[in-house]
Amino acid sequence: MDPNSLTEREYLRQFAARPGLFIGFTSVRGVTCFLDGYDYAARRSGGAGLDGFRDWLVANHLRRQSSFAWPVLIKQIALPEWDFVTDLSPGQEIRILEVLFDLLDRFLAERETVG
């Protein structure tokens, strides 16, 4: 299938299913760096990218305002007990990625419906 014919949601679902295929490994840092690059490239070419994702997370999944970028917000949502200092365990990395891909898909689905 031609990647140019996919919606952002379809493309990012393919990425979520096999991030290692796209970036060579699967880690929170690698995935968030890929998504940041994807967002930048999409916006440069006139696409929406991840525009609004951070604000959507704050409005729908946090009980307070936050100045953090979306990768930190995802960690807070996935691991409310995380202290920002302790290195993440492999299990925590998996949990964060599950939450990230679930919330990203929900955000993109909502944006498709509205837009």
pLDDT tens for 19-61 read 999 999 999 999 999 999 999 999 999 999 999 999 999 999 9
- For 33-105, strand residue ranges (E) read none
pLDDT for position 115: 64
Cα 53 from Cα 2, distance rounded (Å): 25
pLDDT for position 3: 74
Q: Cβ-count burial of 111 within 10 angstroms (0-12 exposed, 13-18 middle, 19+ buried)?
A: middle
Contact by Cβ (8 Å): 23, 34: yes
Q: Which helix (H) or strand (E) holds 102?
A: helix 90-114
Contact by Cβ (8 Å): 71, 32: yes
Phi, psi of 12 (to 5 degrees): -70, -25
**50-107 pLDDT per residue, tens:** 999 999 999 999 878 899 999 999 999 999 998 888 899 999 999 999 999 999 999 9
For 71, the token pair is 């990768």
